[in-house]
Structure 1
Amino acid sequence: MAKEEVKLFGTWSSPFSLRVTWALKLKGVEYEFIEEDLSNKSSLLLQYNSVHKKIPVLVHNGKPISESSVILEYIDETWKGHNIFPVDDPHERASARFWAKFVDDKLLPSLWNVFVTQGKEQEEASLVALENLRNIEKELEGKKYFGGEMIGFVDIILGCIANMADILDEITGLKTVEKDKLPLLSAWIENFSSAPIIKDSWPSGDRLVTKYRLYRTMFAPPKSS
């Protein structure tokens, strides 16, 4: 039987690339990681994702799959082992897709708005972000992970905040996930971050702080005196 060829085009700091890394590792799939320079994208990346020209792209036996959430579904359907989606419950699978879309469409953008604003605008953005965090925290009632006792689809989609929250807090001086306001989400961050496959995959914190400080100078308006 011919050996499978699995390649992941991404960047070391991308939370979306990290989602795919986690899923492959949870499944025990061997793969080659190809680091992309997003200021000078490779011809292969442009070939494999000619529509959006973005990372991540998973290439399995020469066939490309784009968009991190789509890639996660493909991984779960292609390889046995750790189940990323609930196996026997269509409603739970639909719910997982709903909350994953909520993370990408509402929650992460609201956190980014907090990061790139100042003053009153930042205060207003913080209230929106907190409401979004509280909405998704309700899904953790009675559970260790969003996927139950095992890391699942929503955990992987939301997973970047388990690391990024501290980094963004260090840069802004704010507190994204306060234990007294979001106790279930705080516990989830500890559980998720301490899972061996997750813990061993985090990018360098120092490098991330440096990179996101640069982002903040690029996108955040100067603080008014």
Structure 2
Amino acid sequence: MEQKASQVVLLGKWTSGQCSRVALALKLKGIPYKYVEQDLTNKSELLLKNNPVHQKVPVLLHSGKPIAESLVILEYIDETWNHTPKLLPHDPYQRAKVRFWVNYFDQKIATAIYPVFRSKGEEREKEIEKMNEIIGVFIEGLKKDFGKEEFTYSKGKCLGLLDIVVGTQACNYKAVQEALKVEAIHPHTNSEFLSWVDSLKEHPLMKETLPPHDKLVASFIDKFGLLN
């Protein structure tokens, strides 16, 4: 099912992992789209009109109809363009488990990095330990629910919803560590997570979609005042 790019528009911000995940899903499905960068310090009328409740990105416009919130958008994409590759499993129970761990990642891991950025010294070390413990719970849960071979990514395997959500944020971990000048994810305790993320980063469309490393490092430093 093909769509003209003008019929599919993504309002986003280049630093946002949530926006990157939508862009990646569109590319995986082969859906042409127009990308419109947004300045969140001076929100456009287009954004305010199409997401008046949260006034944030991403927003997907499909034939002029807006869909907001990245996870809602991803499921909309998978249901609307229901050809392969499918982002979610066919089995309802497997879908439920994927949704559970996607939500865990967004609510626990993706948010755990902010206290790390905003703290210093011993407090930062404590926040890093907390984040690594949360990642450990995540990996052990995935292994229990899916088995190691199912949740890890290997060359030639199609990216699923969990790969998309984790990869578009966690694949930037080296930029985070360079900005912080500290090893935020411990390789000795979370080697399986890092191995998974590093393999996801090798996917051609993941590489294409991720923001430039140096530009992202500079953005983190500026946003969190890390040179002060």
- The TM-score with structure 1 as length reference comes to 0.90
- Does residue 107 (structure 1) correspond to residue 115 (structure 2)? The answer is no
Deviation, 1:33, is 0.2
Q: Distance in 2 between matches of 1:25 and 1:3?
A: 13
Contact 1:145 1:151 in 2 (8 A): no
Residue matched to 2:9: 7
Q: Distance in 2 between matches of 1:182 and 1:124?
A: 16
More divergent stretch after superposition (68-77 vs 137-146):
137-146
Which of 177, 197, 201 is 1:169 aligned to?
Answer: 177
Q: Deviations over 1:144-191 (max 9, x none)?
A: 646894311112111234332101111212223333221221221121
Alpha-carbon distance change, 12 to 221 in structure 1, aligned in 2, over 3 angstroms = closer
Contact 2:8 2:32 in 1 (8 A): yes
- Does residue 180 (structure 1) correspond to residue 221 (structure 2)? The answer is no
Contact 1:147 1:154 in 2 (8 A): no
Q: Distance in 1 between matches of 2:51 and 2:103?
A: 21
* Identity between Structure 1 and Structure 2 (%): 35
Gaps of 5+ in 1: none
Q: CA RMSD in A?
A: 2.1
Q: How does 1:93-104 map to 2 (within 5 A)?
A: 93-104=95-106
Contact 1:177 1:185 in 2 (8 A): no
Contact 2:102 2:162 in 1 (8 A): yes
- Does residue 143 (structure 1) correspond to residue 149 (structure 2)? The answer is yes
Residue matched to 1:22: 24
Contact 1:162 1:193 in 2 (8 A): no
Q: Distance in 2 between matches of 1:184 and 1:6?
A: 36
Deviation, 1:108, is 1.2
Which of 77, 81, 86 is 1:83 aligned to?
Answer: 86
Gaps of 5+ in 2: none
Alpha-carbon distance change, 123 to 102 in structure 1, aligned in 2, over 3 angstroms = same
Alpha-carbon distance change, 179 to 100 in structure 1, aligned in 2, over 3 angstroms = same
Residue matched to 1:34: 36
Residue matched to 2:132: 130
Number of aligned positions between the proteins: 219
Contact 1:17 1:55 in 2 (8 A): yes
The secondary structure found in structure 1 opposite 2:31 is: coil
Contact 2:3 2:31 in 1 (8 A): no
Residue matched to 2:197: 189
Tell me which amino acid in the other structure corresponds to 2:176: L
Q: Deviations over 1:75-112 (max 9, x none)?
A: 0001122110001x111111111111111111111122
Contact 2:128 2:185 in 1 (8 A): no
- The TM-score with structure 2 as length reference comes to 0.89
- Does residue 152 (structure 1) correspond to residue 155 (structure 2)? The answer is no
Q: Distance in 2 between matches of 1:70 and 1:146?
A: 24
